[in-house]
A and B are shown apart, each in its own frame.
Chain A
């Protein structure tokens, strides 16, 4: 029965982030946290696999101190246990650092048959962690899976690429990243939420993972972030008379040379 690990990221909900008009800086003061959207698909995929054929699901995250807010949510989504590494260093970490930290934690707390990740995080969407993790652990990686099955010690997956759909197979242990179209993440029921309180969570201390300062130093450093502003004409036709609006839009499109 497969021992599954789902790696997830606790991110700021981008819907709560405001752009300050004076300097386009980002105001995150009112932003709540959430489990990164695609990681919820990975959690759901793991939960469904285990519900269908047994096994167990651990969840693992590396984040800042706020990551503790994720524990209950992740446990109510089907994980049996959550391992968490909370360190302020996570705020500057790039995917290289995160992959090293997660790989070290997996070496210490594993082994796992299958490691699942979302295809990218909803904040940085750098789409590299699962492959990096697999490379560090020396495991094969199937990226962008649309469907997954585990049969014995084999992973079968359907991968959705730009120009084709591939059926692929690899021996476990393996890493896979999942696309959002794979499933609809559950909205935890009251029972699942209450059940989560009884499930174990385990803190993993960054200092115990034996990583060197160099390994924890990002090689992709964010030096600034500015809100994106659209420079558009914003001409609105909003008369009660739809035909009048349409006539004015058609005239504008003609003036733009579009018809």
Chain B
């Protein structure tokens, strides 16, 4: 009994979770078990080197509805570490598991390693202003965001894939599902982004940013206010602690101040460029290159210069 368990309803993320899980296996000497509710993904997970794959058989239930049954299973198995993909659904599941296992939970952990007294993790604090080090007593539950780790290399070992009957919690009923309009771009995967903020005065003015994005072959992103208050861009385009986390090659921030809650979502970009009329805007501290100036003047010039 014991073990390191990984679960995400997102197959790619489930694969990425196996990297820290296999790492912990080396230090804790416990088997790694991948859980999935999607029988079709079991073989793909098995090929990434866990010791076992358990296929949860619960019909078309939502991931959150599986949480109580998962908690039961993990309790019976004596799970020591539970890694859950840090999607919104995953965070709900993880919090339920932690409550039932009476465990500590760190969400959006960046680094995991055994420490004195339990599992050491790093996570952000105060909207990204600080990084905190925490130690979770075992059993420990941790959520990890997509792309925090690369998936492990494929392994040729034979892995047992076993079904596991589970009973879904039917108290919350889903009466309608609307797929988010994706418009074909997943900015989390974009290599280049032009991000806009409240320095733009009207929705039409975003054309200036779109022009620059065209010249750079970049996609548009924004701050929370542009998406949530102005509705000028879809919600899934906003970057930050409560929005998307991105790691592009190039991040051009135009007319946005660079508050920490925004920056935390883009500060792992390789190159950050800022255009802002206020020399004291915090975005300049976070930028490799910056132009102090009016975006209405700078963006057309820059677009023309890059298009050449």
* Interface residue ranges, A against B (CB under 8 Å): 12, 14, 17, 19, 26, 94-96, 99, 119-120, 122-132, 134-136, 140-144, 156, 160-171, 179-181, 218-228, 230, 232-238, 242-243, 245-247, 249-250, 252-253, 256, 258-259
Residues on the B chain within 8 Å of A122, using CB: 126-127
Chain B residues in the interface with A (C-beta under 8 A): 62, 64, 87-89, 91-92, 94-96, 98-100, 102-108, 115, 117, 120, 124-137, 140, 169, 171-180, 192, 215-216, 224, 228, 235-236, 241-242, 249-250, 260, 263, 267, 271-273, 279, 284-294, 297-298, 301-302, 305-306
* Complex contact A221–B135 (CB within 8 A): yes
- Complex CA gap A235/B274 in Å reads 10
What residues on B are CB-neighbors of A238 within 8 Å?
279, 291-293
Q: Are B235 and A181 in contact (CB under 8 A)?
A: yes
Distance between Cα atoms of A104 and B107 in the complex (Å): 24
- Cross-chain contact B292 with A234 (CB below 8 angstroms): no
B87: A residues at CB distance < 8 A: 161-162
Residues of A within 8 A of B235 (CB): 160, 181
Q: Which residues of B contact A221 (CB under 8 A)?
A: 104, 117, 134-137
Q: How far is the CA of A122 from the CA of B130 in the complex (A)?
A: 12
Measured in the bound complex, the distance between the Cα atoms of B60 and A248 in whole Å is 56
Residues of B within 8 A of A165 (CB): 177-178, 180
B285–A166 CB distance below 8 A: no
Let me know if B172 and A142 touch, CB within 8 A: yes
Residue of B nearest to A243 (CB): B301
Contact among B91, B169, B250, B305 for A250, CB-based, below 8 A: B305
A136, B68: Cα distance in complex, Å:
12
Rounded to whole Å, the gap between the CB of B235 and the closest CB of chain A is 7
Q: A96-B104, A250-B306 are in contact. Are A180 and B228 (CB under 8 A)?
A: yes
Taking CB atoms, residues of chain A closer than 8 Å to B292 are 236-238, 245
Contact B177 A232 (CB under 8 A): no
- Whether A166 and B96, one on each chain, are in contact in the complex, defined by CB atoms closer than 8 angstroms, is no
Are A253 and B284 closer than 8 Å at their CB atoms?
A: no
Cβ contact within 8 Å between B290 and A218? no
Q: Would A228 and B124 be within 8 Å (CB), given that A169-B172, A233-B288 are in contact?
A: yes
- By a CB distance below 8 angstroms, the chain B residues around A96 are 98-99, 102-105
B286 touches A232 (CB 8 A): yes
- Closest chain-A Cβ to B203's Cβ sits at a distance in Å of 18
CA–CA, A156 to B174, complex, Å? 10
A14 contact from B126, B140, B215, Cβ within 8 A: B126
A-B contacts besides A19-B129, A126-B106, 4 pairs, CB < 8 Å: A96-B105, A125-B127, A230-B285, A235-B290
A242/B293 contact (C-beta < 8 A), A220-B134, A223-B135 known? yes
Q: Judge whether A252 and B289 touch: CB under 8 Å.
A: yes
Min CB–CB distance A186 → chain B (angstroms): 15
A181 and B228 contact, Cβ closer than 8 Å, known pairs A119-B242, A126-B106, A164-B178: yes
- CB neighbours (8 Å) of B192 from chain A are 258
| Cβ contacts under 8 Å, B172 to chain A | 140-142, 168-170
Name the residue on A nearest B269 (C-beta): A232
- What's the nearest-Cβ distance from chain B to residue A247, in Å? 7
* Cβ contact within 8 Å between B250 and A234: no
Across the interface, A253 reaches (CB within 8 A) one of B104, B287, B289, namely B289
CB–CB B104/A14 < 8 A: no
Instruction: Say whether A167 contacts B174, CB under 8 Å.
Output: yes
User: A246 contacts B302, CB within 8 Å?
Assistant: yes
- Candidate in A120, A143, A171 with the most chain B CB atoms within 10 angstroms: A143
Contacts A160-B235, A167-B176, A237-B289 hold; do A223 and B133 have CB atoms under 8 A apart?
yes
Q: A96-B98, A96-B103 are in contact. Are A249 and B133 (CB under 8 A)?
A: no
Q: How far is the CA of A218 from the CA of B136 in the complex (A)?
A: 9
Contact indicator A132/B95 (Cβ below 8 Å): yes
With a CB–CB cut-off of 8 A, which chain A residues contact B115? 223
Chain B residues near A169 (CB-CB < 8 A)? 172-173, 175
- A-B contacts, 30 of them at CB < 8 A, read A96-B99, A126-B105, A127-B91, A131-B91, A132-B96, A136-B99, A140-B171, A141-B96, A142-B172, A144-B92, A161-B87, A162-B88, A164-B179, A166-B174, A169-B172, A170-B171, A220-B105, A221-B134, A221-B137, A227-B129, A228-B124, A234-B284, A236-B279, A236-B291, A237-B292, A238-B292, A242-B293, A245-B291, A246-B301, A247-B305
A19 to B126, CA, bound (A): 12
List, in ascending order, chain B residues with CB within 8 A of A166's CB: 62, 174, 176-178
Collect the chain B residues with CB atoms within 8 Å of residue A168's CB: 172-175
Residue numbers in B under 8 Å from A179 (CB-CB) = 242
Contact of B100 with A135 in the complex, beta carbons under 8 Å: yes
Task: Find out whether the CB atom of A242 lies under 8 angstroms from the CB atom of B297.
Answer: yes
Cα-based distance from A226 to B27 in the complex (angstroms): 26
If the complex has contacts A128-B91, A165-B177, are A123 and B125 also in contact, measured as CB distance less than 8 A?
yes
